[in-house]
Amino acid sequence: MYGRCGVVGDARNLFLTMSVVDSVSWNAMIAALGQHGHGVQAVELFEEMLKEGILPDRITFLTVLSACSHAGLVEEGHRYFDAMHDIYGITPGEDHYARMVDLLCRAGKFSDANDMIGKMPFQPGPQIWEAFLAGCRNHGNMELGIQAAERLFEMIPQNDGTYILLSNMYAAKGLWDNVSRVRKLMRDQGVKKEPACSWVEAENKFHVFMVDDTAHPEVNAVYSYLKQLVLEMRKLGYVPDTRFVLHDMESDQKEHAISTHSEKLAVAFGLLKLPRGATVRVFKNLRICGDCHNAIKYISKVVGREIVVRDGKRFHHFKDGECSCRNYW
C-alpha cells in the first residue's frame, strides 16, 4: 500500500520491522522498489531474498524483471530470466517474455527483442507487441513500430493505446497526414481515446485536472501560478519542448497547448495548497509527457520541494532538478 501510494521509504521501513517475512512480502517490496526507479536496490533485495533461503516464484521473477526493465539492467535481466527455468524449474509465461521484450526495447536492442520473440514457445500475444511498440515509440523506430501496430490492430482492434502510440510516433516526426489517417481509422473503428487526467490530494480531498482544464473552481489561480513558475524556470534554462504537441499548429499555440497538460496543473495546485515543504504527490492515468517530465524537474528546483508523479507505468521522484528515473523511462 505504501509503495502504491508513492511513499516507498515507509514501505521499506515497514518491511524491515516485520517479524515474519514471507515470499509475498519480499515480492511486494521488490516490486515497490522497481516501480519507484530503484532498480539496483530491487536487484540487491532479490539477491538478499535468495541468501535468506526464500525460494522465488513466478511473481518474484515478474517483479525483478520489471525492476531491471525500468533501470536498464539488461545483463541482470537476461541472467534472471535464464535462471527461472535452469535453476528454479519455473517455465516462463508470456508475461515474463513481455517483461524481457520491454527490457530489450527500452534499451534499444530491437534485434535481440525480435530474436526472443522468434524463440518463444508460443505465438506472441498483445502484451508482447504492446511492449515492442512502446519501445519503438521511445526510440523513434518507425518501421518496426508500424509492424508492431499492425499486429495489434489484428489482435485487439478496439484498444485505444495502439492508435495513440502510432499517432504519437508520426506526430514526433511531423508526419501530420499520417496522424490524420490514424485518427480517422480510430473513428471508423469506433475507438475512443481515454482522456488524460491527473489528480492530487489536498485538504482531505482529491482534485482532478484534465488537459486545458476550465472546470476546476480554482483553475485560474493555478494558471497564474504556473506562469510565475515558468518565468523562474526559464531563468534556469527551461525551454518548452513542443515536439510533444500532438497536433499541427503554430509555435506559440504549441507552447500554450503544452503548458496546460494535466500533470502540470495538478503539480501547481499541490504546491499552492499543501503545507510549505510537504511532498507533492500527483497521480496520472497515462504516461507522463516528455516536456512535463522536464518541466517538473525545473519546478522541483525552483520551489525546493520534492514532487512525486506516478504515471501509468511507474513513479518519478523529482528533487533538486533531478528525477529518480535518471531520464530512463
Q: What is the mean pLDDT of the segment spanning 25-44?
A: 93
Which residues, 6+ apart, have CB-to-CB distance to 251 below 8 Å?
A: 242
State the pLDDT at residue 248.
Answer: 53
Integer Cα distance of 38 and 41 in angstroms:
5
301-304: which pairs have CB atoms within 8 A and are 24 or more residues apart? 301/236, 302/229, 302/232, 302/233, 302/236, 303/229, 303/271
Strands 307-310 and 280-284: parallel
CB crowding 207-217: b at 16 or more within 10 Å, else e: bebbbebeebe
State the pLDDT at residue 246.
Answer: 57
How confident is the model over 133-158, as pLDDT tens digits? 999 988 989 999 999 999 999 999 99
**pLDDT band at residue 251, thresholds of 50, 70 and 90?**
low
**pLDDT band at residue 257, thresholds of 50, 70 and 90?**
confident
Mean pLDDT lowest for which of 37-51, 194-208, 255-269?
255-269
State the pLDDT at residue 225.
Answer: 97
State the pLDDT at residue 175.
Answer: 87
234 and 245 Cβ atoms separated by less than 8 Å: no
* Entry pTM: 0.87
Mean pLDDT lowest for which of 30-44, 74-88, 242-256?
242-256
Q: Over 80: is that where the pLDDT of 244 sits?
A: no
State the pLDDT at residue 169.
Answer: 87
Mean pLDDT lowest for which of 1-10, 208-217, 245-254?
245-254
Residue with cell 525460494: 55
State the pLDDT at residue 252.
Answer: 61
State the pLDDT at residue 82.
Answer: 95
Q: Over 90: is that where the pLDDT of 250 sits?
A: no
How confident is the model over 259-282, as pLDDT tens digits? 889 999 999 999 999 999 899 999
Which residues, 6+ apart, have CB-to-CB distance to 75 below 8 Å?
A: none
State the pLDDT at residue 207.
Answer: 97
Q: Over 80: is that where the pLDDT of 31 sits?
A: yes
**pLDDT band at residue 18, thresholds of 50, 70 and 90?**
very high
How confident is the model over 62-112, as pLDDT tens digits? 999 999 998 899 999 999 999 999 999 999 999 999 999 999 999 999 999
Integer Cα distance of 92 and 82 in angstroms:
9
**pLDDT band at residue 294, thresholds of 50, 70 and 90?**
very high
